[in-house]
Amino acid sequence: MALVNESVQYGRILITTDEKYITKENVRRVLLDAYTVHLLNRERINFLIKYERGDQPLQRKKVIRHDIDIICTDSLPNEIVEFKTGYKWGNPITYKQRSIYDANESDSKVDNSGIAEINEMLNEEDVFSADAELGYFVETCGVGYQLVDIKRNVDCTAVFDIVTLNPMNTFVVYDNSVHHRPLMGVTYVTDNSGNTHFTCMTDSQRFQITNLSKFDGENEEDGMVFGWRNGEKNPFEMVNIVEFIRSSDRMGCFERQISAIDALNILESDFCNNVAQDTQALWWGDNLDLPEKYDSDGNVVGYKVPKSGGWILTESGENKKASVQALVIATQYDGILSNIKYQRDIIKQRCFVPIMASAGGGSTGTAMSMSSGWENAEVQAQKEEAYMRRGKMQVARLILKAIQESTDTPEDSKALHLNISDIQPSILRDRNYDMATKANTLATLLNNGIDPKHAIETIKLFPDTNLVYEDSQEYLDLYFEAKRAAISRAQSGESGDMKIDDDGTVETKTGSQDSSMQASNSPFIGGTATSTGGRHGAGVTK
């Protein structure tokens, strides 16, 4: 087991090949080489999943008092994963319009409606639960996979399927160049007979291979994985299995701290053992003789040892004072408990997990956020968000291709006119935090002429910013129309007391506001207009 613990520290291995293209002639050879590397990744992934679920072998052997050997496994790995998946993957990941201006010069309203269609399809397919499952694999194992395919039996608006695949049975092969272009995506299952069926997707074809050696029927429906025919054309013209990574080292969120978690398990186990040993203490007698036990022949076979709740009857020698007491070690439990808490907190800090503590008096929200680790958690989440965006953009490319290739897509669908440059993922965190501040910020941005889409996105309050903009379009138009009318009246001098000159100077009916007018009206500078003495008008009347 120690060997597994040491090997797991290196993250998942990037699987590459020297081949530039995958064809029927070389696909089995490439698959065999890649599968060999995948098995090492699979062993590490399996260890991490089991470790997170509580299978954490204690890295020490108890050599004293074997009758008391309590083994505790801390739930800290699960706590770390649960926080990461909730904080980073808890809100639905949708798509939004990148800008109303793009290189394709397409109609921004058409693009916005098309993106709204895609988000509706995602909602119908319940892709958000698939993303939550993907988040668990990415945070625990360092890698995760999603398959995008054209839906065969369309029963709703969505014309595509998005499936989260288990990383223990999935991998992607890249070319061995600086670009690391994905050449083949592989997923496999093992049937009840022990045969392993591999489904391999390249950018041109799909292959079904059994036991790494035999092609399934060229023109037959095998259906062991997804029902594709062997050798058929891949309509996506790209690998439609997308690999997500948590970081460049492809490691899980708690993987670097496994040795520290093992030490914490030892500390907690020994603490429980210590309490149990104090409860079941050994007894020490001084200057006493326990009553002897005899067999049927009158031979001494032992001593009468007291049982729980029984009396100890002893015989002491002459001029000897017998004593009986528990043989225990004076343990400072407060210090041990403080050490356990410190070790847990330091591991969480290293994993960028905030300390869940209630705010004390005298501390501001910002101070508590920084001291408890929420600020560091957000900084780390922003860094890892870049990898999430890269994977989601590849999923978006496949979604657009599925919409274009599906025969069930309506001809008037706005999504048909979308380009990949028109959209980008919308990833939100802390959606409901400090809503009053966010609402005021939104009002200020809109009042100062910031584009509504950017204003809605900036406050990060809504899970689907595109939907909010679409549903609010009527009210936003009325608001900005009234705003433009007010500015127009001000520029023409029809606002009553205010007029804006061509050079931007604001004038009123009494003339421009200058320092002399301010001085004559200020109670602190030269007195008020009705003052006859003193700065505050409290002087002697002349």
Closest C-alpha to 329, from 285, 269, 275: 275
Q: 30 is written with which tokens?
A: 């490439």
1 within 8 A of 183, measured Cβ to Cβ: no
pLDDT at 416 over 70: yes
Does 503 or 235 have the greater pLDDT score? 235
Q: How confident is the model at residue 219 (pLDDT cuts 50, 70, 90)?
A: very low
pLDDT, mean over the chain:
79
Q: How far apart are CA 211 and CA 208, in angstroms?
A: 10
Q: Residue 224: what pLDDT?
A: 44
Q: Give the CB-side neighbour count of residue 260, counting CA atoms within 13 A.
A: 18
Among 187-201, 454-468, 489-503, the range scoring the smallest mean pLDDT is 489-503
Residues in Cβ contact with 271 at an 8 Å cutoff, skipping those fewer than 6 apart: 336, 337, 340
- What 3-state DSSP class applies to 402? helix
160 within 8 A of 236, measured Cβ to Cβ: no
Instruction: For 318-347, give the DSSP string.
Output: TT---EEEEE-----HHHHHHHHHHHHHHH
Q: Residue 346: what pLDDT?
A: 92
Instruction: For 240-293, give the DSSP string.
Output: -EEEEESSTT---TTGGGHHHHHHHHHHHHHHHHHHHHHHT-EEEEES-BPPEE
Q: How far apart are CA 48 and CA 251, in angstroms?
A: 10
Secondary structure, 3-state, 93-110: CEEEECCCCCCCCCCHHH
Q: Give the CB-side neighbour count of residue 175, counting CA atoms within 13 A.
A: 13
Section 60-80 average pLDDT: 84
Among 52-66, 245-259, 451-465, the range scoring the smallest mean pLDDT is 451-465
Does 81 or 111 have the greater pLDDT score? 81
Tell me the C-alpha to C-alpha distance, in Å, between residue 485 and each of 248, 472, 480, 490, 494. 53, 20, 8, 9, 11
Q: How far apart are CA 258 and CA 251, in angstroms?
A: 12
pLDDT at 387 over 90: yes
CA-CA-CA-CA torsion sign (10, 14, 15, 18): negative
Section 514-541 average pLDDT: 48
Closest C-alpha to 246, from 135, 165, 350: 135
- Indicate the DSSP class of residue 233: B
Closest C-alpha to 213, from 229, 197, 192: 197
Q: Residue 7: what pLDDT?
A: 42
Closest C-alpha to 164, from 143, 193, 190, 195: 143
**Given the structure tokens 């508590």, which residue do they identify?**
368
First-to-last CA distance in the chain? 101
Instruction: For 337-391, give the DSSP string.
Output: HHHHHHHHHHHHHHTT-----PPPTT--HHHHHHHTTHHHHHHHHHHHHHHHHHH
Range with the largest mean pLDDT of 69-78, 318-327, 498-507: 69-78
Tell me the C-alpha to C-alpha distance, in Å, between residue 507 and each of 199, 285, 314, 483, 486. 75, 102, 109, 20, 16
Closest C-alpha to 89, from 138, 142, 131, 49: 131
Instruction: Render the burial of 284-321: b for 16+ CB within 10 Å, e for the rest.
Output: ebeebebeeeeeeeeeeeeeeeeeeeeeeebeeeeeee
- For the chain, how long is the longest CA-to-CA vector? 134
Q: Residue 196: what pLDDT?
A: 92
Residues in Cβ contact with 123 at an 8 Å cutoff, skipping those fewer than 6 apart: 92
pLDDT at 417 over 90: no
Q: How far apart are CA 527 and CA 12, in angstroms?
A: 78
Q: 101 is written with which tokens?
A: 């201006």
Q: Residue 488: what pLDDT?
A: 80
Tell me the C-alpha to C-alpha distance, in Å, between residue 204 and each of 24, 26, 87, 118, 201. 11, 14, 38, 25, 8
Q: How far apart are CA 172 and CA 241, in angstroms?
A: 7
Q: Residue 34: in which H helix or E strand, if any?
A: helix 27-52
Q: 317 is written with which tokens?
A: 């020698």
Q: How confident is the model at residue 104 (pLDDT cuts 50, 70, 90)?
A: low
Length of the chain as a residue count: 542
CA angle 416, 418, 419 (to 5 degrees): 130
Q: How far apart are CA 533 and CA 190, in angstroms?
A: 100
Q: How far apart are CA 12 and CA 47, in angstroms?
A: 12
Q: 102 is written with which tokens?
A: 């793009």
Pairing of strands 241-245, 206-210: unpaired
pLDDT at 451 over 90: no
| β-bridge mates for residue 499, sequence order | 507
- Which pLDDT tens digit goes with each residue over 245-294? 999 999 999 999 999 999 999 998 888 888 877 777 667 777 767 777 88
- What 3-state DSSP class applies to 398? helix
- What 3-state DSSP class applies to 179? coil
pLDDT at 6 over 50: no
